[in-house]
Amino acid sequence: MHFQITFMNMLTMLMEENSKRIKIEEFVEMMPDACEKQFPKKCNCCCRYFDTFQDFLKYTIIPVHSKDHSLQLIDLENLHDVIAFRNCSCGTTMTVQCAVDKPQKKELMHAISEEARERGVEPEDVAQLLRDKVIEKAMKR
């Protein structure tokens, strides 16, 4: 009987934790605004200005040599980040952080890791999917 109660308590705690966790879909909704806060942005080489995140997406491309690796995932003890790489029309590689504040960065990395574990894929695969969904959402604005 004690085992059954303990198991049920653990199951309830896991379900509560899982429901509190920010899901990838929620980041798709939040990330365009987080990215938008980083604009205007200027290319350091050709001095082209990108007034908005949408302009940045329209007038830059994912680097050809890194189509599948255009995101850098950083998940260290005190440093969490997802950085997206894009090339300006002059060829200069520029970056955009995918989350703005530290707690959100940590939650994002956790969500990517959990989604990858649940799907049985690498975190980079989930991050690429997230990138594509965020770009799609931002371009519809």
Q: Could you give the CA distance from residue 3 to residue 20 in angstroms, rounded to a whole number?
A: 26
Q: Which two tokens stand for residue 83?
A: 């950085």
- Global pTM reads 0.73
Number of separate domains in the chain: 1
| Residue 73 in this model has a pLDDT that exceeds 90 | no
Is the residue at 57 inside a domain? yes
| Residue 56 in this model has a pLDDT that exceeds 90 | yes
Q: Could you give the CA distance from residue 119 to residue 110 in angstroms, rounded to a whole number?
A: 14
Is the residue at 77 inside a domain? yes
Is the residue at 123 inside a domain? yes
Indicate the pLDDT class of residue 36, thresholds 50, 70 and 90.
Answer: very high
Note down the domain range covering 108.
Answer: 23-139
Is the residue at 85 inside a domain? yes
